[in-house]
A and B are shown apart, each in its own frame.
Chain A
Amino acid sequence: MDTSLLFIQLLNGMQLGILLFLLSAGLTLTFGIMDFVNLSHGSLYMLGAFICASLTQLTGSFILAALLAIPLTALCGLIIELVVVRQLYSRHHLDHVLATFGLILCLDTLAEMIWGPAGIAIPLPAFLNGQVEVFSGVVIPTFRLLIITVGLTAAAGLYLLVNHTKIGMLIRAGASNRTMVGALGVDIKTLFTGVFALGAGLAGLAGLLVAPIAEASIGMGNEIIITTFVVIIIGGIGSMKGAFIAALLIGLIDTLGRSYLDDLFKLIMSSEAAETAAPAISAMLIYLLMAVILAIRPQGLFPAASR
């Protein structure tokens, strides 16, 4: 097997894992602290990508656009929380699912009305568009390296925020007992809104990171949201650590499965059969993994202790 190719695939897998983590972190926060299921999280990811695309065209600088797009996506999250989500916390999960499903229809259509049905590509500045030689013979695009760095930094920042700050303390306290935290005089509603906006900002970050590679397009969020759910289910719902590990696991398995499964199948069956079966099986791989893990541990790998 070609080791440099394997190395590149590992990095690609890691990149997907990082993006999935950024998305699942927001979902984990909103679910962990507010017990709220947000299907429209993927739409925020799409908004991040589109807002960044527009700002890049406007300002001419991807970096500036990206720095502005994150708070803007968080603002969208804030508005959504205030207008719709806030009314639903006391409701059944089914109502969360249905209302946020309606939100997806609204947000996707609004995006289509503003940015048109075709996708928008984001041109990268020259210094990000090149390639880096990691070690002799192994070259990877600079931007992919940037995604991994930014994602890991965000993960570290989130870890510090949740575990070593006063706000983080409130978030964790809110996750284990909302009513008690409210009774202690903490403005839990504002905290909820803030956490929701933070999750939206993280989703926006993931969206704008992916847009220069895959372009911003309508419905891009609806595809990745299911993979994000698989991450959360495998990691154990409400657990940040679980989300991080599961995101990397899913990113790697999905990427490696798509590149190497047909070679693996050719060892045990005819190459013709392998070429038919491998794409189908590799598309189903992460779901099969989910099924196996759930069959052994229905609560996921690292279930949150408080639940």
Chain B
Amino acid sequence: MTNLPLKKNISRHPAFWINTIALVLLAVVPPVLFISGQPFWLDVFTRLVILALAATALNLILGFGGLVSFGHAAYLGLGAYAVGIPVYHSLYGGMDSIASFNGFLHIGLAVGISALFALLTGAISLRTRGVNFIMITMAFGQMIFYAIVALENYGGDDGLTIDVRSEFPLISLDNPLTLYTVCYLSLLLVLLIVYRITRSRFGLTLQGARSNEQRMRSLGINCYRYQLIAFVISGAICGYAGFLLGNFTTFISPEMMDWTRSGELMFMVILGGAAFLLGPVFGAAVFILLEQLLREVTIHWHLPFGILLILSVLFFNGGLAGAVSRLRSFKNQ
């Protein structure tokens, strides 16, 4: 695993420079493309940054916690509907307690509901390990999918259009450049949060439980509690990503929380290299740009995409970060 060293001379580590360059590029390139008359690419990058944010949240438990959660798209959906439902009610009446355009309320709902759902399902699924955990998180994710499909009031299967974006003082998310900036700054904030968590006693315990749960337990540590808290934090952040996604697409449907979406999020984490802070960002970038590229070549882009996914599992173990570190150790020999 390619972790940044704990020492002070962090800036000498090549990973530090690769990460910095990537984040600077993400800050500069999309706005430049937008201003030079390429609004389409700003859209691609906005989606990329939002999904990178969600994948970073997933990385906290999948990469650092070693818990393979296959239901994270549900949080994206919950977060998006936390925007869609209050907006729907403020336009068409009903449910006065939540009917509002206020963005802070939307964020509160998105994060709160996601955290609650993560707490309830995490408390049950974390009692199991391995394959059971994968399938249970998948099933709970799909439960939310079907629940939303059954809610005819909010469009059910057909989805829901968000006619008015979340409102904040001073800024307007209707401006694509503002929206991108908000998403990008959110990503930086989340990366900082995850970085701090993984460096804290809490995060080290979590990683210890990944490596050897039995040993952690014999040290008197209640791994279950640590993993549950990490699961809740991860779900809450992913819910926030859902809030951004809802404001970005302005059309939300149960399809966005289908279990195959969870699979894609997982792939971004693995592709970039799990337990590597910026791995999910690189993974999301490769994923989104590849998807965009293949889409232009063929409408059946899922086929080459699927083949690439299989090949990357068979021959590309450890993701991009793993490949880079293998290359380095090869050079050092």
Contact = CB atoms under 8 A, between A and B. Distances in A.
A and B pair up = yes
Interface in A230-260: 230, 232-233, 237
Interface stretch (A47-55, A92-100, A162-170, A207-215): A92-100
B128 interface: yes
Interface residues of A, number: 46
Contacts, number: 131
Contacts of B153: 276
Contacts of A113: 300, 303
Contacts of B267: 98, 101
A98 B266 contact: yes
Interface string A155-180: 00000000000000000000000000
Interface in B306-323: 306-310, 313-314, 317
Q: Which of A87, A108, A233, A282 has the largest number of chain B CB atoms within 10 A?
A: A233
B307 A102 contact: yes
A295 B123 CA distance: 9
A298 B142 CA distance: 19
Contact of A37 (B134, B151, B152, B313): B134
A99 B310 CA distance: 5
B317 to A, nearest CB: 8
B199 interface: no
A197 to B, nearest CB: 19
B310 A283 contact: no
Nearest to B271: A98
A110 B150 contact: no
B302 A105 contact: yes
Interface in A101-130: 101-106, 108-110, 112-113
A279 B146 CA distance: 10
A134 interface: no
B127 interface: yes
B146 A233 contact: no
Contact of A97 (B124, B134, B317): B134
Contact of A283 (B70, B147, B309): B147
Nearest to A228: B135
Given A109-B302, A276-B151, A300-B132, 15 more contacts: A37-B134, A97-B134, A97-B263, A98-B270, A101-B263, A101-B266, A101-B267, A112-B300, A222-B260, A226-B259, A233-B136, A284-B150, A291-B124, A294-B124, A294-B136
22 contacts: A97-B70, A98-B309, A99-B314, A102-B306, A105-B303, A105-B305, A105-B306, A106-B310, A109-B300, A233-B132, A276-B153, A279-B152, A280-B151, A282-B150, A283-B143, A287-B139, A287-B142, A287-B143, A288-B143, A291-B121, A294-B128, A294-B136
Interface of B: 68, 70, 121, 124-125, 127-128, 130-132, 134-136, 138-140, 142-143, 146-147, 149-153, 258-260, 263, 266-267, 270, 300, 302-303, 305-310, 313-314, 317
